[in-house]
């Protein structure tokens, strides 16, 4: 069974950052380095996710996918007025979904006409919608996406609040809204859930809560390379070592890294 790293970023420091970027990296993350990480750890496929600091300029990601179209796919960040012809052109270039990174932004009202049009166009193209937001946002957004035509993917364990932990009422309420028939969760970025052992503990607890809710066939793993804002203490090898501790059961690991991810991203098994 082939395996997939479903969440990574590539970028140079030469392209301009988005004007409203909350974070600006100090080091580039090259395609060559990412592929070397995949090769070293035996991953057959990778999914590139547009970083928020590049805004809606997906050109670097698209160029990377174009060099390895059979091995890489992408999740884009797009303006809300994007048209279907553009979405179809992006689909032909290996883009399979759109990301909403809502950290530092107000929670959107998805019932508004502009949002409904955006979501309808994404759904028409069969794209997944990736949500990166705090648990209280998830609690509000998941019901609004009940009729979304595509798959809904939740980033980074649902971003447990380090100060509140996995028993946070908002986090538990969001997990209770997950439907194994249409939602997915990336068990990635454990270090974003707390410092050191706290982050690992929260990730392990979150995984158990997800399994208890029947999400075993809807979990995928991502390295979150190059670990933006945490790259001074986290590297690709460390994420794989934690993966070994997180998923000691070989069959569960095979399902999450293999079958589940191959299904969600439509890679060849």
For residue 18, is pLDDT > 70?
no
- 253 Cβ neighbours under 8 A, 6+ residues apart: 243, 247
| Percent of the chain topping pLDDT 70 | 99
Tens digit of pLDDT for each residue in 111-146?
999 999 999 999 999 999 999 999 999 999 999 999
Please tell us whether the domain made up of 4-265 is placed in CATH 3.10.400.10.
no
Residue 168: enclosing H or E segment and its boundaries? none
**How sure is the predictor about 23, in pLDDT bands with cuts at 50, 70 and 90?**
low
Confidence (pLDDT) at 136: 98
Q: Where are the domains of the chain?
A: 4-265
pLDDT in tens, 49-87: 999 989 999 999 999 999 999 999 999 999 999 999 999
Q: How far apart are CA 158 and CA 117, in angstroms?
A: 26
Res. 265 pLDDT band, cuts 50 70 90: very high
Average pLDDT of the chain? 96
Q: Six-digit token pair at 161?
A: 């609040």
The pLDDT of residue 7 is: 98
Q: Identify the residue whose tokens are 């690709």.
A: 236
Assess whether pLDDT exceeds 70 at residue 206.
yes
Residue 145 contacts residue 110 (beta carbons within 8 Å): yes
Q: Is the pLDDT of residue 269 over 90?
A: no
Signed CA dihedral, 198, 227, 266, 57: sign only:
positive
CA distance 126 to 205: 32
Mean pLDDT of 241-254: 97
Residue 57: count other Cβ atoms within 10 Å of its Cβ.
14
Those residues whose C-beta lies under 8 Å from the C-beta of residue 15, and which sit 6 or more positions away, are 54, 57, 59, 60
Q: Could you give the 3-state DSSP secondary structure of residue 105?
A: coil
pLDDT tens-place string over residues 144-169? 999 999 999 999 999 999 999 999 99
Q: Distance between terminal CA atoms of the chain?
A: 6
């Amino acid at each position: 069974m082939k395996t997939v790293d479903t969440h990574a970023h590539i970028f140079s420091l030469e392209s301009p950052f988005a004007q409203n970027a909350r974070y600006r990296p100090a080091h580039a993350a090259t395609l060559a380095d990412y592929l070397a990480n995949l090769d070293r750890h035996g991953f057959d496929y990778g999914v590139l996710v547009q970083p928020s600091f590049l805004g809606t300029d997906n050109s670097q990601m698209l160029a990377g996918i174009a060099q390895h179209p059979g091995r890489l796919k992408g999740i884009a960040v797009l303006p809300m007025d994007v048209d279907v012809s553009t979405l179809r052109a992006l689909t032909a270039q290996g883009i399979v979904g759109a990301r909403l990174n809502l950290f530092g932004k107000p929670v959107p009202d998805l019932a508004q006409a502009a949002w409904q049009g955006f979501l309808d166009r994404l759904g028409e193209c069969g794209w997944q919608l990736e949500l990166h937001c705090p648990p209280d946002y998830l609690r509000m957004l998941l019901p609004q996406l009940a009729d979304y035509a595509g798959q809904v993917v939740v980033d980074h364990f649902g971003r447990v609040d380090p100060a509140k932990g996995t028993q946070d009422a908002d986090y538990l309420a969001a997990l209770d809204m997950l439907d194994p028939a249409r939602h997915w969760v990336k068990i990635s970025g454990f270090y974003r859930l707390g410092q050191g052992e706290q982050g690992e503990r929260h990730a392990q607890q979150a995984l158990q809560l997800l399994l208890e809710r029947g999400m075993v066939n809807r979990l995928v793993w991502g390295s979150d390379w190059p670990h933006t804002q945490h790259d001074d203490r986290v590297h690709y090898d460390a994420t794989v070592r934690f993966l070994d501790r997180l998923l000691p059961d070989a069959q569960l690991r095979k399902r999450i890294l293999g079958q589940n991810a191959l299904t969600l991203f439509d890679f060849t098994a």
